[in-house]
Structure 1
Amino acid sequence: MPDLEVEAEALTAVLDGRWAGLKREVRAQIAEEKFRDPTELDTEAHRAQVLEQLQALARTDRPGLGYDPAYGGGGDVGGSLTSFEMLGFGDLSLMVKAGVQWGLFGGAVQLLGTERHHEKYLRRITGLDLLGCFAMTEHGHGSDVQHLRTTATFDHGEFVINTPDESAVKEYIGNAARDGELAVVFAQLITGGETRGVHAFLVPIRIDGRPAPGVTISDCGLKAGLNGVDNGRLSFDHVRVPREALLNRFADVAEDGTYSSPIESDNRRFFTMLGTLIRGRISVAGSAGNATKRALAVAVRYGERRRQFFKPGGDEVVLLDYLAHQRKLLPAIAKTYALHFAQEELVGKLHDLGTEPPEQEQRELESRAAGVKAITTWHATETIQMAREACGGAGYLSENLLPALKADTDVFTTFEGDNTVLLQLVAKGLLTSYKDQFADLSTFGTVRFVAEQIVETVIERTSARKVVERLASANDDDVLFNREWHLKLFEDREEHVLGGVARRLRKAVDGGDPFEAFNNAQDHVLRAGRVHVDRLVLEAFVAAIARCADPAAAALLERVCDLYALANIEADRAWFLEHGRLTSARSKAVVSAVNSLCAELRPHARVLVDGFAVPSQFLRAPLLDS
């Protein structure tokens, strides 16, 4: 293995996957652009630079890739997401502002609107002739979108958009503080005295650069990161908009105020509307992954050149030759590869499902997007911090890239869905098997559903456990690097944890309070979501290796996959020991195997991060020049 010769380009080919051609085009364009590091810019200058870069992007064909060709788009949803993800290698403020403009704002018009909206707005949005906002989050309601307090009351042929109190102020709205002209505003639709739930409306917020009548705009001010994005607050004082302002793909209001919808259930309609907007969540995961790759590329390059302390023979030792340093970087590289392949699968599934997928497949996709986003953004936060520490004091200097990456990605764990809430969404889908009731079940409705069902499919699965038991007596050398054992161990853990949650909820809710039942099991619910995603990620890695055409690259990736699997098992040794899946001796053998894999992969650390193909201008840092 140490003598294995692998070219970085062979790894890049596997990583680039289905949209390799588009990624090559983006890298080529990036190489022609002058990268201007925003480190020394004040907030206004940074915002101006990001807008200028956004305008340069608008002159390419990529912003409209995901839109309908009938309105100047490319009809390539996967390509659209891929191009957004590539922005994660550079200034993340640009990625976020692009995501707001073309992903959230434009995506809402495309996916929640109808032909009249598409014809009027999509070309202008694509060409940046109309800058917009996605006004969902409120001061008092972030993740709980269903209970937003902004109202849209139908009155004499118009909707009256109103902010009833301080808790209903739209907050953290990208593009609002400086550049936005039109906002997609999520509000409770009221007609004929009846509230019909949250719907989306197009509301002008600026006219000729000034706040529109009845609209109050304020600036969120300096943030911990992403200061090139003009986040603002919006409130509305009885702002009247025409009936056509309602994005009416899933519901409409007639001239006489009559409400109609092809989806009878208010809850199902709400979840269907939100389900169409998962592209933003997927883009955040991909961008976080690319920011993580950039941090690891910096840290590995630094670890290869920085020397610290002498061997007894007199030579100074490079940092990456220390096991402790390998332990920091190599498992993180392995997990980054694994999450990349899971992200690639996710993008492909969204692309292939089209605009009107079967409901169960849509729910499964939403769940997978939620889980991958949560795990990938947490991994970014942990890994970028670790990379900063691996570069010592040099890593703390702004000029060396890592502080900005740390600051800019920190919020990724809580926007486009708080990660803790997202993992509960994953578990909810698993507990209800994505049945038709999924969209109609609140969290506590889910508890009742589980309590009322036999759910033997959740509780009685044994196939994975049998394989784990069969291999329990095998020699460590035969098992620890056995892919079947890895896969079945992950599957068995998921089945056991999910079955435990189901039993716990059924038992607790019998004659009790569903809130207490869920609240008391929340730790268990979150674990169920996490281990499910771990299993999906490992399976995606295995599938990617099977697609690898280069034998040497495939052999290297096999060992990287071993490290991902064994590092995951090592991190969860307590559970595996408590539940009899590992003996104490085998648990110790797992730790030893991780150590040996780190040493075995150390000579390949540089080629592994070079395989990420981070554009060279985004790796220019003084700590790599000395």
Structure 2
Amino acid sequence: MTDAAFDPGVLRRLLDGRWAHVRDKVRETLHETDLPSGDHLDTEGHRALTLEQMRTLAKSGIPELGFPAEYGGGGDPAGSVVSLEMLPGNLSLMVKAGVQWGLFGGAVVALGTERHHERYLRDIMSLELPGCFAMTETGHGSDVQNLRTTATYDPAAQEFVVHTPHEAARKEYIGNAARDGRMAVVFAQLITEGGNHGVHALLVPIREQSGKVAGGVRIEDCGRKAGLNGVDNGRIYFDQVRVPRENLLNRYGDVAEDGTYSSPIDSVGKRFFTMLGTLIRGRVSVAATAGGAGKLALEIALRYGDVRRQFEKPGESGEVAVLDYLGHQRKLLPALAKSFALHFAQQELVASLQETLGSGDERAQRELESRAAGLKAVTTWHATETIQACREACGGAGYLSENQLAGLKADTDVFTTFEGDNTVLLQLVAKGLLTNYKDQFDELGTLGLAKFVADQWVGAVFERTATRSLVQRIIDRSGEDDILDRGWQLKMFDDRENHVLDGLARRLRKADKSNAFEVFNNAQDHVLRAARVHIDRVVLEAFVGAIDRCEDEATATILDKLMDLYVLSNIEADKAWFLEHERINPRRAKAITQAVNDLCMQLRPHAVELVESFGIPRQWLTAPIATGAERARQDRMAEHDQQLGTV
């Protein structure tokens, strides 16, 4: 059995990690400030409440974290990501804050220059200038490079003319657009001197100070959504809207008064991907918040399962807590273990974000973008699956709005498709090995392509983290063929990734000049699987690194159990592959299932303490089935202590 003496406070400090001071600041702020969800309100009321809460949040100093210190910010972009993770109980507020300070403000910081920073950043931080991030179009959601909105330079007036050429080019689903935004960062094809220089971003006013829609701009309300109705999503059309030349965010491309275009990056493609790479914070934030929502759902369900009783055990008086049933444990505890694993992977990602932004290291930037894409996909899918499992685990009580799970489910559902559709993001992870695939193919030939695939994959996308040396030592010293041996587990994940990669390379060898696209398209199932098993391995290695940092033996022991559960439940879910490829035999497959059962039962006594250790601010735990469960749990503990005192 797991040592019961572990200290949840010690575990929380490990989970809080490098940005513990940010988490503590948010907890303190939320303890003193009431920011309730507005899910019970109509659309207009919810939007109005969320805007007021944004103003309250702006005064707290938390939104300033990610902005440059010279303009009154905290100079800590990673800290701003962590702060958003702490808002899982009011996801409309989180998303609206992410649009204002992460996407809109982040784009001005990353793509603008001093003239933009000096003029706009203070007003963005204070919410004096509410803004939008207008990238996605109706006809080109994921294909940003081929957006149709145009920004054509007029040298006589020294202005850009921003235009929506047809219905499919309208800006779609833009947060802050329908009600509150006054300015938008608009992504458009930059045209000057008759030439198209690719997608660039410009600051375009969409409303006057009074709130009246600006001339030449048309805005439509997207209307009520399945969730996140405190966020005013809208559609924006531009009809020959003129903005000054200085409104071009010109860090990576500029236009002189006479219309001459210049850029520090010659390649249109490289310039485009460099620009998008600077905006990676939004994707990292979505993964963080999805993880937080999943943890909140688990805390509600585990607290309820700990006290909810059904059926009597033969020969004993009293009913059995539903969390004592293995079937109930199976619903929730593997999800809890995976939440721990993803938390530590997110920690590594945020640290990499802090170290990579502005470093000029292109290789590190590519690795960051790949990892952010993969973790966003895996974490948001995990949140969706976990919240549904928690809803089912709470029965009819979980379907009541007051118990939060229905709202969490509705609000997070869109996370799998915004800030990048998950399927597309996994393709980005896998296609990192095929940079400039079509361009390179002609020079490579069939055999050259296979080598290119392997070299790119191993060298760029699957670049090993600092944890890798630790992992390799564990693998090297492992001589045991035991499912609970850490070396064996790491080898299973490594071997699966390498095998899937080898198979993909063999499939791509069939390509020639006439069928390169078809061969790649026909291998998409393989491409997506390669990305998925890569992320599984990355997450496991982050977990290994976290336990290595843990100096408290009891805490490390329980984390070891959680890691075993994460690994073996992953292998169990992918049992068909491991059996088909003879990595395990049927007897071992059965042993893995039994081990998962055993681990669930060993972790069950500590389930509530484990989920508490995430330190979710108490303001967000409002579900009566959770708060009532906590009171019942405290009563049981007090009764137990009293009994001990009378012995």
In structure 2, stretches of 5+ residues that fail to align are 460-467, 630-647
Cα contact 2:107–2:185 (8 A) shared by 1: yes
Cα distance per residue 1:198-222 (max 9 Å; x no partner)? 1001000001211100000111000
2:539 aligns to what SS in structure 1? helix
Distance in 1 (alpha carbons) for counterparts of 2:445 and 2:477: 31
Q: Which moved more, 1:315-324 or 1:388-397?
A: 315-324
Aligned to 1:286: 288
Tell me, in whole angstroms, the C-alpha distance in 1 between the residues paired with 2:3 and 2:457. 47
Q: Is the counterpart of residue 98 in structure 1 residue 91 in structure 2? A: no
Alignment of 1:61-210 (within 5 A): 61-88=61-88, 90-155=89-154, 156=156, 157-207=158-208, 208-210=210-212
Aligned equivalent of 2:13: 13
Rounded to whole Å, the distance in 2 between the matches of 1:102 and 1:415 is 17
Distance 1:92 1:16 in 2: 21
1:501 maps to which residue? 504
SS at match of 2:66: coil
For 1:51 and 1:565, how far apart are their aligned partners in 2? 43
Q: Structure 1's 83 and 356: CA in aligned 2 closer, same or farther, altered over 3 A?
A: same
Distance 1:528 1:459 in 2: 10
Distance 1:44 1:460, change over 3 A: closer
- SS in structure 2 of the partner of residue 200 of structure 1: strand
Name the aligned partner's letter for residue 105 of structure 1.
F
Equivalent position amino acid for 1:540 in 2: A
Q: Structure 1 counterpart of 2:123, which letter?
A: R
Q: Distance in 1 between matches of 2:270 and 2:307?
A: 57
Within 2, Cα distance between the matches of 1:136 and 1:483?
45
Q: Secondary structure at the match of 2:412?
A: helix
Instruction: Check the 8 A contact 1:468/1:489 in 2, yes or no.
Output: no
Which of 362, 366, 369 is equivalent to 1:363? 366
CA displacement at 1:302 relative to structure 2: 0.6
Equivalent position of 1:33 in the other structure: 33
Counterpart residue identity of residue 298, structure 1: I
Relative distance call for 1:450 and 1:280 in structure 2 (3 A) is farther
Alignment partners' CA distance in 1, 2:169 and 2:593? 51
Q: Does 2:355 align with 1:320?
A: no
Alignment of 1:251-290 (within 5 A): 251-290=253-292
Query: Which of 220, 225, 228 is 2:227 aligned to?
Result: 225
**Distance in 1 (alpha carbons) for counterparts of 2:44 and 2:549:** 47
Instruction: Indicate conservation of the 8 Å contact 1:471/1:485, yes or no.
Output: yes
In the other structure, the counterpart of 1:389 is: 392
Counterpart amino acid of 2:349?
L
Number of the residue aligned with 2:429: 426
Does the CA-based 8 Å contact 1:447-1:506 persist in structure 2? no
The aligned residue for residue 435 of structure 1 is none
Q: 1:35 to 1:188 in 2, by over 3 A?
A: closer
Q: For 1:584 and 1:28, how far apart are their aligned partners in 2?
A: 52
Q: Out of 538, 542, 549, which is 1:536 matched to? A: 538
- Amino acid of the structure 1 residue aligned with 2:29: Q
Task: Give 2:50's aligned residue.
Answer: 50
| Residue-by-residue CA offset, 1:447-503 (whole Å, 9 max, x unaligned) | 766943324558999x999x999989x55xxx1111111112111111111121122
Between the aligned residues of both structures, percent identity stands at 63
Contact 2:477 2:487 in 1 (8 A): no
Cα distance in 1, alignment partners of residues 530 and 33 from structure 2: 45
The correspondence of residues 321-340 of structure 1 with structure 2, limited to 5 A, is 321-340=324-343
**Equivalent position amino acid for 2:211 in 1:** G
8 A Cα contact 1:504 1:521, kept in partner: yes
Q: In the alignment, does 2:561 pair up with 1:559?
A: yes
Deviation readout 1:19-59 (Å, 9 max, x if unpaired): 11221121111111224232321111111111111101111
More moved, 371-380 vs 488-497:
488-497
Of 403, 407, 413, the match for 2:406: 403
Matches within 5 A, 1:415-564: 415-429=418-432, 431-432=433-434, 438=435, 441=436, 444-445=438-439, 451=446, 452-453=448-449, 454-455=451-452, 457=455, 479-507=482-510, 509-510=511-512, 512-564=514-566
Conserved in 2, the CA contact under 8 Å of 1:153 and 1:159? yes
Q: What SS is found at the alignment partner of 2:235? A: strand
Please give the alpha-carbon distance, in whole angstroms, between the structure 1 residues aligned to 2:303 and 2:239: 55
- Could you tell me how far 1:270 is from its partner in structure 2? 0.3
| In 2, Cα distance between equivalents of 1:260 and 1:292 | 46
- In the TM superposition, residue 86 of structure 1 has moved relative to its aligned partner by 1.3
Whole-angstrom distance in 1 between the partners of 2:346 and 2:555: 20
Supply the distance in 2 between the matched residues of 1:336 and 1:447 (Cα, whole angstroms). Answer: 40
Q: 2:345 aligns with which of 342, 347, 359?
A: 342
- Do 1:9 and 1:611's aligned partners in 2 also have CA atoms closer than 8 Å? yes
Provide the aligned length of Structure 1 versus Structure 2.
610
